[in-house]
Amino acid sequence: MVKMFDKNNRYITRGVQADIPLELQLFMWCCIDKLKEQGLKRDYLQIFELTEHKADDIFYQVIEHREEVPEYNKTYKILAKETVNAKVFVINDGEDEIGKGYSTMLLAEEY
């Protein structure tokens, strides 16, 4: 059985490494982990829309986390050291040669 979004086999692309602050990368992985902890079925493709939002001279990071099957959508608004506008995919790529699942976080334009 494939372990979807296994914590031991996670990768990021160069684009994510260059453009997405580490704290936001970790937050997105945590969002996926929360679904797993709740026992919710997950789609192999997780979508994150990151947008900057300003209110009362304070910048917030808005993160919309969604998937298509099963349908899921949750939006977070957090204070972040650095905010970005980006669309990020996290794809569960199936199994490798020894039967372990692995996941990759990439920018939408890298897909």
Full domain range(s) for residue 100: 10-110
The pLDDT value given to residue 46: 97
CATH number at residue 84: 3.10.450.150
Say if 99 falls within a structural domain.
Answer: yes
Confidence band, pLDDT 50/70/90 cuts, at residue 21: very high
What global pTM score does this model have? 0.90
Digit-coded pLDDT (tens) for 24-39 = 999 999 999 998 888 8
Q: Is residue 46 part of a domain?
A: yes
pLDDT at 97: 57
Count of CB atoms situated within 10 Å of the CB of 12: 19
Q: What is the pLDDT of residues 68-110, one digit of tens each?
A: 999 999 999 999 999 999 999 999 987 655 556 789 999 999 9
Residue 2 covered by a domain:
no
**Total structural domains within the chain:** 1
Question: Could you tell me if residue 4 is inside a domain?
Answer: no
Classify residue 77: in a domain, yes or no.
Answer: yes
Extended strands (E) in the chain = 10-12, 45-55, 58-67, 72-78, 86-95, 101-107
